Amino acid sequence: MPLPLTVAPDVRDALDAGSPVVALESTLIAHGLPRPDNLAAAGDIEQAVRRGGATPATIAVLDGIVHVGLDEAGLTRIAGDETLSKLGVRDLPVALASGGSGATTVSSTAVLAERAGIAVFATGGLGGVHRGGGYDESADLGALGSTTVLVVCAGVKSILDVEATLERLETLSVTVLGYGTHRFPGFYLTDSGFGLDWQVNSPAQAAAVFAARREVRPGAVVLANPLPESEQLDPDLHDRVLAEALAGLATDGVTGKAVTPYLLERLHRVTAGASLVANIQIILRNAELAAQVSAALSDLR
């Protein structure tokens, strides 16, 4: 049975013409940003892709059908429906078989983008290995190990174990590039404290690495795009609030899938919205860079 997938007309026209297209996840809109500001942010993110010279393709599952590219009604539904599920790769078969609806995560967006023929994907930060020594790892990593896409991100969320995440990406043979830096960004922070082996300095260089990666074996290229220091969250404030939030996990009995939203909510609340401002700036910058990389990749073809 073929995958129930519909591609928006403007996205289909761009793909057929070999023009640049950038995939966007929908979980950021549905679950990552507060309502009602999330709808405006969704429009701003798509506009950032257009500004970079590409067609945006926000991906979601609506009524059992994968939508690659959402119209205004689709974006409004994703932004406003508080009952929408969060769909990773493992959840897609259930949603598709049952006619369900949900927002796609990094892992499922990467897989569906590849199925639709989209090579470049923009997001905020990747999931990764959680702190604490227990085995708790985001499905994002496994998906990137087997999906041939280029993902522009600001590293992994700083609430995670960055060192362990980088080790897992290496084990999975995911190529990691720093954009204009040999330092791995820390999402809200310009520098996570960990170095990278490889750096590129232009969209054309990133596109060339991805083109070569496709000839080697399946797997992703992660293009880590740091916030400028002038736009990062104050590092001392970040570290203090994160330490307090991590201590609160045990006090409040938070475990499993509830850990990430708990920590992010504490960061947003205690920083008086400063982390939210940084979060939005991250995805806008990544969306525009992804568009430029997609355009460079189209030129290579």
Which residues are known to be catalytic?
25, 157
163/22 Cα distance (integer angstroms): 28
User: Nearest-CA neighbor of 11 among 40, 50, 39?
Assistant: 50
User: Nearest-CA neighbor of 214 among 182, 176, 175?
Assistant: 175
Structural tokens at position 116:
């639709």
Under 8 Å between Cβ of 129 and 168: yes
Name residues whose C-beta falls within 8 Å of residue 271's C-beta, 6 or more positions apart in sequence.
233, 237, 238, 241
Half-sphere exposure of 99 (CA within 13 A, CB side): 0
- At 187, which helix (H) or strand (E)? none
Structural tokens at position 171:
């084990």
Q: Extract long-range pairs of 244-251: CB within 8 Å, 24+ residues apart.
A: 244/270, 245/159, 245/270, 246/131, 246/159
CA–CA distances in Å: residue 270 to residues 7, 30, 34, 225, 239: 41, 22, 15, 26, 12
User: Nearest-CA neighbor of 295 among 207, 180, 177?
Assistant: 207
DSSP 175: E
Beta-ladder partners of 6: 67
User: Nearest-CA neighbor of 62 among 45, 83, 42, 41?
Assistant: 83
